[in-house]
Structure formats: C-alpha cells, structure tokens
Structure 1
Amino acid sequence: MGRTIPSANQYLIQEQESFSRFRRALRRSDQLALDELFAAARKHAAALSYASHALPFEVALLSMLLEEHKEVMRLRQLIEAQSHQENG
C-alpha cells in the first residue's frame, strides 16, 4: 500500500510538535506567542492544501505572516480612526 499524505492540519500539528524543544527553551510569553503563530497558520490550512508548488512549511510561515499583517492593518485603521476623531 502507498503512504498517506497528511492533511494540512495534521502537517501543521506535526510541525508544531517538531518545534517542541525550541518552544521549551523560550520564555513563557514567547511560548504563548509561538502557539498563536501556529494557530494563525491553521486558519489557512485549506490554502496550504492548494499550494503544491511550495514547501508546506513555507506556506505555514506565509500564513503566519499574513495573520500578523492583518493585525498591523487593523491597528493602523484604529489609530487612523482615533486620529480623525481627535482632529475632527
């Protein structure tokens, strides 16, 4: 029988587990941040399945970066809205 290819979610879980020693070496606050990054990557598991041209971990990193950038954009909009309220 052939080997089964793990689903995107399974792959992300395996990757997170492979970083367990790295995670243990981090401070608690950094451990929580790393956990959140992997959670962010899981939000894009479907996209990971379709990105067959790239290495799966590259897509996971891009997914993490995408979520972080969305947060930066949200915060920029919030700051801009507050700035408009103060000036207008």
Structure 2
Amino acid sequence: MGRTLPTITDAFYREQESFNRFRRALRRSDQKVLDDLFASARLHLAAASYAADALPMETFLLAMLLEQHKEVMRLRAQVEEFSRPRDE
C-alpha cells in the first residue's frame, strides 16, 4: 500500500499552529491582523492543492499576498472614482 499524503488543509493548520508562539508574542491588535491573513489564505486552499511543487507555507503566503493585492486594487479604484471630476 502507498503512503497517504496529508491534505493541503492539514498542512495549512499545521503551519498555522507553528506560528502560535509568535502570535501570542504579538500585541492583541497585531494578533487580529495575523488571524485575518491566515483567514485570507484559507480562502485559497482549493487552489493551493494544485501547487504541489511549492512548499506549503510559500503557497499560503502567496494566497495572503493575493488577497492583500485585491484589496489594494479595490481601494485604488475607489480613490480614482472619488478623484474624478463630477459634472454638476
């Protein structure tokens, strides 16, 4: 019989657990931010399962970065919308 590989979800929760001591050392406000980053990575676990060649944490960090960039793009669009001259 072959060996069963852990799922990407299992790998995700192991990686998140490995940061527990780091998280506890942060200020409460920073703990919330870190939790939000991990939550954003969790949104992309299905896609992460296709990144077999990458290290799991690299994939999770890229998913976090993806969500952050989406937010930056959304905010830029809002700024541009508010910056446009309005016809009165």
TM-score relative to the length of structure 2: 0.90
3-state secondary structure, aligned to 2:48? helix
Q: What do the CA deviations read for 1:40-69 (whole angstroms, capped 9, x no partner)?
A: 111110111100111111010000000000
Q: Which residue number in structure 1 is paired with residue 13 of structure 2? A: 13
Q: Which residue number in structure 2 is paired with residue 63 of structure 1? A: 63
| Structure 1 segment 37-56 matched on structure 2, within 5 A | 37-56=37-56
Structure with higher helix content? 1
Greater mean alpha carbon deviation, residues 7-16 or residues 75-84: 7-16
Which ranges of structure 1 fall in alignment gaps of 5 or more residues? Answer: none
Q: Quick one: percent identity of the two aligned structures? A: 63
Q: What do the CA deviations read for 1:25-49 (whole angstroms, capped 9, x no partner)?
A: 0000100000011111111101111
Q: Which residue number in structure 1 is paired with residue 4 of structure 2? A: 4
Q: What do the CA deviations read for 1:64-87 (whole angstroms, capped 9, x no partner)?
A: 000000000000001111111xx1
Backbone CA RMSD of aligned residues: 1.2
Q: Distance in 2 between matches of 1:16 and 1:53?
A: 20
Shift of 1:4: 2.8
TM-score relative to the length of structure 1: 0.90
3-state secondary structure, aligned to 1:50? coil
Q: How many residues align?
A: 86
